[in-house]
Amino acid sequence: MSIAPPANPALLDISDVSKSFGSVEVLRSVSLQVTRGEVVTVIGPSGSGKTTLLRCVNFLESYDSGSIRIDGKEVGFRDTGTRQRRSERDLAKMRAETGMVFQSFNLFPHLTAAGNIMLGLRKVRGKSSTEARAIAEHWLGRVGLAHKADSLPAELSGGQQQRVGFVGEADPAEPVLG
């Protein structure tokens, strides 16, 4: 007898995650499930662990206990049950498939809005300059910034910089050409 998988399995499954810095417990048994297509906001007062949780999701910070799975794959540790850390190469592959927008947008000041978006597409995703430019223009248009494609970060408002940072993390798989 086979058991059917859940109809809508969690894309992100955080289960009983805890994290301490010395004697300061920042995360205590945090659990959260996010399904594909669902939009979730993590809110709370300063110092409540929001950034630490997100850093754990991308394994920029190791968590002490619990598990974090993205699309069924354990983040940061091998699926051996021994909490053996993944290699830096494995971590880089996993990070390339997820995105995180930091509070400080850290756009490269010498690159235009399109250039900032294109950089990751070219260096991480291996896209050609032409394809990367088309994707950047598409996403800038989707967030109302098509007219700012050739603007430097200093020429953008904080909100515009945030949108550039956000679309730089967008999924380039969406059809753009044709």
What does the pLDDT profile of the chain (178 residues) look like in tens digits? Answer: 555 555 667 889 999 999 998 898 999 999 999 998 888 888 877 678 888 898 888 888 889 999 988 888 888 877 766 777 887 888 777 777 776 666 656 789 999 999 999 998 898 888 999 999 999 999 999 989 999 999 999 898 877 888 888 776 655 555 443 3
Task: Tell me if 1 is assigned to some domain.
Answer: no
Task: Tell me if 105 is assigned to some domain.
Answer: no
Tell me the three state secondary structure of residue 158: helix
Task: Tell me if 100 is assigned to some domain.
Answer: no
Task: Tell me if 159 is assigned to some domain.
Answer: yes
Total number of domains constituting the chain: 2
Domain that includes residue 134, residue range: 113-167
Task: Measure the CA–CA gap between 10 and 71, rounded to whole angstroms.
Answer: 7
Q: Is the pTM of this model over 0.75?
A: no
Give the residue ranges of DSSP H helices in the chain. Answer: 50-57, 88-96, 113-123, 129-142, 158-167
Give the number of other Cβ atoms within 10 Å of residue 148's Cβ. Answer: 20
Task: Tell me if 120 is assigned to some domain.
Answer: yes
Residues 161, 119 share a domain? yes
Task: Tell me if 178 is assigned to some domain.
Answer: no
Task: Tell me if 121 is assigned to some domain.
Answer: yes
What are 104's two structure tokens?
A: 């400080």
The enclosing domain of 59 has a CATH number of 3.40.50.300
Beta bridge partners of residue 34, listed in sequence order: 12
